[in-house]
Amino acid sequence: MANKILVETSARHVHVTAETLEILFGKGHTLTNKKDLSQPGQFACEEKVTVKGPKGAIKASILGPTRPADQVELSLTDARTIGVANVPVRESGDIAGSGACILEGPCGSVELKEGVIAAKRHIHMTPADAAELGVSDKEIVCVKLETARPLIFDDVVVRVSDKFALAMHIDTDESNAACAFGTVYGSIVK
Ligand SMILES: [Zn+2]
């Protein structure tokens, strides 16, 4: 395998608990799979919610399946647009003390005291991928994107699991900065 990693842009999205899903969409509601994502078992949903901040609101899709905690992943541009302050750059699941917002669905709303983050750029890979690329779980690497506006991203965290598939995830701000449109690949720079 060459040092060639698919780079995908994660649009803003929301992860919800089963409890929050019922408040937003009604008792007994389950998520509707719209599109499978690159990571096995993960899917974009038909369900959209409104993310409200002090200065505005934006729509975001829910990604399934449901999770143990509510989490909103915005670009820092999105966060600024709706006026949510203190949005840290974090790995998924690390939400203590992160940004606050209100989630609104067709049947109700939920106030999140924390949970709004800008996702730290990362590469999902299997143990076999890690061995071939010579990296390990939680290692921080640089990745060069070969695009019309090439960019080397520093501080990219490697995440290794046999439940993953090889793909790097960046947010829309990062994607726009690098013109990472269409099918884009990156390589780890040692
Ligand atoms: Zn990811």
Residues composing the chain? 190
- Report the separation in Å between the CA atom of 185 and the middle of ligand 1, taken as the mean of its atom positions: 15
120 secondary structure, DSSP code: P
Ligand 1 center–CA 6 separation, angstroms:
12
**If you measure from the C-alpha of residue 89 to the centroid of ligand 1, how many angstroms do you get, rounded to a whole number?**
14
Q: Rounded mean pLDDT of 98-113?
A: 98
Q: Using CA atoms, how far apart are residues 24 and 33, in angstroms rounded to an integer? A: 17
CA distance 122 to 157: 5
pLDDT in tens, 65-74: 999 999 999 9
pLDDT band, residue 76 (cuts 50/70/90): very high
Average pLDDT over residues 11-40: 98
- What is the pLDDT confidence band of residue 1, given thresholds at 50, 70 and 90? low
Q: pTM for the whole thing?
A: 0.95
